[in-house]
Amino acid sequence: MSLEITEPTPVIISEERQVSDTRRELVLNMGPQHPSTHGVLRVRLTLEGETITGCDPVIGYLHRGVEKLGESKRYAQFVPWTDRTDYVAAPSNNLGYVLTVEKLLGIEAPERAQYWRMIMAELARLASHLVWLGTHALDIGALSMSLYCFREREMILDIFEKFCGARLTTNMMEIGGFSRPIPPDLPDMIRDFLAVFPKRQREYEDMLSANPIWLARTRGVGVIEPDVAINYGLTGACLRGSGVNYDVRKAQPYLFYDRVDFEVPLGTHGDVYDRYLVRMEEMRQSLKIIQQCLDQVPTDGPLKLAESNYVIPPHDTVLTTAEDMQRHFIWVIKGFSPPKGEVYLAIEHSKGELGHYIVSDGSPIPYRLRIRTPDFVNLQSLPYMAEGAMLADVVALIGTIDIVLGSVDR
Amino acid sequence: MNWAAFLSNYIFAFIVLNVMLGLMAYMTYFERKVLAAMQDRVGPKRTGPFGLLQPIADGIKLLAKEDIVPKNADRLVFLVAPLLSFVLAPLSAAVIPFGGTVTVFGQEVNLYVADINVAVLYVLALGGMGVYGIILGGYASANRYSLLGALRSAAQVISYEIVLGLSLVGVFILSGTLSLVQILEAQQQPLSFGGVQVPNWYILSQPLGFVLFLIAAVAETNRAPFDLPEAESELIGGFHTEYSGFRFSFFFLAEYINMIAVSLLAATLFLGGTDGPIADGVWWLAAKAALFLFFYIWLRTTLPRFRYDQLMGLAWKVLLPLALINIALTGLIRLWGLGLL
């Protein structure tokens, strides 16, 4: 028996197409390996000259089945996986998941832990916005911005490292609070950052906000009308850039966002430039929130819920008291069983509304875990914005949506 | 021409060519160091003292790399295109005057390779020819990004070539010549206004022409913010996406040599070339050219990139009318100065 080997038919990913007698379209395959598709996004573009007549985002190159993994792990075991969805703002993802599980369990972390969660989530927002600004400006050609932004992001990552030992995938939050103590010099590190950052941010704005080339590249590009933004289900700066006032922190306050004073910046034109301005102002508001949290947070007190079967007991009491030792044993061997039911909780992530939906059947692993990531929904608007734009605008549009493919594909 | 004169001229040409190539290598070092300083970084520092051997290491790396030709490429054109760019680039240095005439061992040596009566036209023509390398390379790569880069490059160079040429007409009107040697000589007679001596550099009499020339020159050499043919955030590498190894380095060399040549040209045409307040000489030319090269790098770190349509709009709607106005004004003033008006 002879084995016949046939050449596989090549998959044609780009071709020229004769639209009519006089018009020909060029199909350009942008990505998944491309310097400015922010990871592994693939966009199939139909071009007429340099004008885009069709745009078709193809996702899934970074799909790891995170939701399905969550349905095979115990509740507490899934927290490290949330880091790996949106890896530029890992603490925010931790927070969204942890808060959802706590809502399901009907427990709440102590006040001090809640404040520190807020501080870390806002720092994560700043870090994420800095990555966005750096890469967005780099895509449009402002080479140095990325290095300046990463310089400031470094300070935030140092704070994370001081707090939990990790910089990118922090695995920082736990169900019921924090296990680790707050390092005594951490508030000073954060205050140093708060003192330095506004000056640096003014430098960014000096370079971009009134730069004629930046204005030409961003104004009137990628306009989304408010009703279109709502119909697409956009959230975050993509929605607020169009002037729709929706911020989960104001609409359904979680943590102590109702105790701090901050404003929600809104755009008017819904173009790339307005979304840039909205995010820049959000960074300023984040600094304000962190400052207020640092002033309000109790300096002493528990960081973790004690004497609850849902929370892993602290290390020192496990070794000294019988109850906690038994609780720890059960927690580690069997995990905890939440009540039956379903729960959805949304938080304001740096990119928009991050929602976790959990269905519990009373067993230690979730029956269904669904993550509504903001950039997955926001990415839908790319074809709408790209229609009729120029080829160079596509990179500006991908940048303005602020996607992280780990979060889009999950 | 006797044999000694021929030989001295030949030796000088040899020196100029090699200095240009060496300068180009250290231009990359200069660019990386300046970029690093502006971006809060250190830049190359490991290879040799202060990283001074980095360009040599880069050169060895590029030469040792595999020479890849894509399967669907137009093979001959693909191989020839980088050579075309590279060979044409240093030729424009031939007409730059590095000084007057000096006597070495009793032999008169001209510190320029050639004094052509249409030197400026020759430089512009070389710039126009150089773009063939880019267009052919982009076309032959059989890659859509390369093709788009090549198309952009063709449109851009044609548009900015016109502006570049017209921005210099004012200088021609004032000097009455297209020879760079004679333009340099014309700038060496100082003007005096009531006892105050002012150098007759054309930047003072042609400020608008100078600005237009500067903008067009940046576009002509495909540098930021006009680096659309190789816009890496949209077109990956643009026309040189498919090139690797020494063929890529030929495009790279050509770009940097063009930058140096344009800087030398700008220094000669507008800043009095080798003319200086004390001790005229080639060092003044080098210092002025270095100023322009620094300006190139400064632009690159600071400015975002234009969009294709904005770039063309700038050339045809803004720069071209301004260049024509400049010519008309200069012409009128010249006629008035000659008493013909």
pLDDT digits (tens, 9 = 90+) for B235-293: 777 778 888 888 888 888 888 888 888 888 888 888 877 776 676 777 788 888 888 88
Cβ of A144 within 8 Å of Cβ of B38? The answer is yes
User: Which residue(s) pair with A42 in the sheet?
Assistant: A58
Q: Is the pLDDT of residue B10 over 50?
A: yes
Q: Which amino acid is at B21?
A: L
Query: Is A25 a member of any domain?
Result: no
B105 and B277 in contact (C-beta within 8 Å)? no
B223, B303, B317: best to mutate for the A interface, most A CBs within 10 A: B303
Do the Cβ atoms of A139 and B231 come within 8 Å? no
Contact with chain A for residue B317, Cβ under 8 A: no
A196, part of any domain: yes
Chain A residues with CB inside 8 Å of B308's CB?
Answer: 50, 390-392
pLDDT in tens, A261-290: 888 999 888 889 999 999 999 999 999 999
Between the alpha carbon of residue A93 and those of residues A338, B120, B236, B278, the distances in Å are 21, 62, 32, 67
Interatomic CA distance for residues B215 and B256, integer angstroms:
17
Chain centroid to CA A175: 20
The one-character DSSP state at B47 is S
Average pLDDT over residues B149-178: 84
pLDDT in tens, A4-37: 666 655 544 445 566 666 677 778 888 788 877 7
This prediction's pTM = 0.85
A51 inside domain: no
Which residue does chain A place closest to B300, by CA atoms? A143
Q: At A252, list the tokens.
A: 């359904």
CA A253 – CA A247 distance, rounded (Å):
9
Residue B204 has pLDDT above 50, yes or no: yes
**pLDDT over threshold 80, residue A42:** yes
Q: Of B38, B145, B233, which has the smallest distance from its Cβ to A141's Cβ? A: B233
pLDDT at B53 over 60: yes
DSSP annotation string for B8-25: HHHHHHHHHHHHHHHHHH
Q: Is residue A369 part of a domain?
A: yes
- Cα(B114)–Cα(B294) distance, integer angstroms: 28
Nearest CA in chain B to A31: B236
Whether B166 and B324 have beta carbons less than 8 Å apart is answered as yes
- Out of B236, B305, B308, closest to residue A34 by CB: B236
Question: In terms of CA atoms, which chain B residue is nearest residue A394?
Answer: B234
Q: Is the ipTM of this complex over 0.90?
A: no
Question: What is the per-residue pLDDT across A74-119, written as a single tens digit (0 to 9) for each?
Answer: 888 898 898 888 888 889 999 999 999 999 988 888 888 999 999 9
Distance from CA of B123 to the nearest CA of A (A): 29
Q: Residues near B224 by Cβ (< 8 Å), separated by ≥ 6?
A: A141, A143, B218, B299, B300, B303, B305
Residues A245-257: what's their mean pLDDT?
88
Give per-residue pLDDT as tens, A336-359: 888 898 999 999 998 989 999 999
Q: How does A48-78 read in b/e, with b if 16+ C-beta sit within 10 Å? A: eebebbebebebebbeeebbeebbebbbbeb
Residue of A nearest to B36 (CA): A144
Q: How many domains does chain A have?
A: 1
Task: Please list every residue in chain A whose beta carbon sits closer than 8 Å to the beta carbon of residue B41.
Answer: 147
Whether A342 is covered by a domain: the verdict is yes
pLDDT computed for residue A307 by the predictor: 74
For A148-154, what is the mean pLDDT?
90
Residues of A with CB under 8 A from a CB of B: 14, 26, 28-29, 34-36, 50, 137-144, 147-148, 151, 207-208, 211, 213-214, 216-217, 390-395
Q: Does B71 touch chain A (CB under 8 A)?
A: no
> Between helices B245-270 and B119-140, what is the axis angle to 10°?
160
Contact A142 B303 (CB under 8 A): yes
In angstroms, the CA A5 to CA B30 distance is 55
Amino acid A13: pLDDT: 47
**Among B40, B234, B300, beta carbon nearest to A143:** B300
Contacts of B251 (CB under 8 A, 6+ apart): B82, B85, B86, B133, B134, B137, B239, B240, B243
Q: Which residues contact A388 (CB under 8 A, 6 or more apart)?
A: A51, A52, A53
Q: Answer yes or no: is A370 within a domain.
A: yes
Q: Which range has highest mean pLDDT (B159-163, B230-234, B321-325)?
A: B321-325
pLDDT at B228: 74
- Reduced to 3 states (helix: H, G, I; strand: E, B; else coil), residue A103 is helix
Q: Is the Cβ–Cβ distance between A70 and A62 less than 8 Å?
A: no
CATH number at residue A153: 1.10.645.10
Q: Could you list the residue range(s) of the whole structural domain that residue A88 is in?
A: 66-409
Q: How confident is the model at residue A124 (pLDDT cuts 50, 70, 90)?
A: very high
- Which residues are CB-contacts of B94 (< 8 A; sequence separation ≥ 6)? B13, B16, B112, B113, B114
Contact status, residue A243 vs residue A226, Cβ threshold 8 Å: yes
